[in-house]
Every structure is written in C-alpha cells, then in structure tokens.
Amino acid sequence: MISKALSEYLKTMYVLKKQNNEIRVTDIANKMNCTKPSVNKALKNLKEENLIKYEAYQEIVLTKEGEDLAKKILEAYDIAYVFFKDVLNLDENEAEEEAGKIKSTLNDDTLNRLAKYVQKQLDYNSLDCNYDINNERCRSCVRRMPKKS
C-alpha cells in the first residue's frame, strides 16, 4: 500500500484526468497547493510502484493499477463521508475532514461492511447491488440516492 501523501497525489491525478483529459505537473501542483519539485518526487515514487507511466516533460498516464487504486481511494472517501454526514449527522465540513482522515486507514473488508451498513441505515437496501469496494459499478449508488426523511 502507498503512503497517505502518495494516495492524495494519485487521487488528484485521477480527478484531473477526468476533468481535463490530461494530467500535468503544473496542474497537480496548483490543485494540491504544493511545489513542482514535490510533485516530481511523488511522480517518481508512483512510477516505481507501477501506478503511473511518466518521463520528464512527457504526458503523465495512470496505469490500470493506478486508476483502479485512485477509484478505490475516492470510493473509500465517499463511503466514509456519507457515513459521517448522513448516519452520524456531522456537518458537511466536519464530515469531509473526518472522511479525509479515515479513508486510507480502513481495509477492503471494513469498507465493504461500512458501505453495507450505510445502505441499511439510510434505507438503501432496495439497491441490492452486493456492494464491493473493488467493484466500480456500484460507486455512485449511495451518492445518487436521495436521503430518506
């Protein structure tokens, strides 16, 4: 598993790819409010982990492994955020902060159980999607369902 800092870089690259259809060092630095040398160091480490393909001054490309891990990182955040906001009724800012802290510390089994618990508590059982953190097809289920009153 990669460090929390590297997971933030990977997540940011995935989001930039979705938003801009490209990933550039400058955009990563701006989005993360850090320096280009910091980004380049992270890119070197992510490349060593085979999560990206990158050569200096060339396009940054997420590998299949890198993209899958970035999706998983985002999904873990979503699950934790919905739990804190809609189950524990924390305000939005606090839910975002807590979700950011917890997302990289939970294993897949715990995240799957948390997602199923959230679905049950928010009466999303009708989704019956057999949720699995490693299966992207279910990523939007909880986010799209309106909160029951």
Instruction: Determine the pLDDT at residue 83.
Output: 87
Distance from C-alpha of 84 to C-alpha of 86, rounded to nearest angstrom = 6
Please state the domain extents for the chain.
4-62, 72-141
* Helix (H) or strand (E) run with residue 27 in it: helix 25-32
Distance from C-alpha of 58 to C-alpha of 78, rounded to nearest angstrom = 32
* pLDDT, tens digit, 9 for 90 and up, residues 55-113: 988 889 999 999 999 988 888 888 888 889 888 999 999 998 998 888 778 887 888 88
The pTM (predicted TM-score) of the whole model is 0.74
Structural class in CATH, domain 4-62: mainly alpha
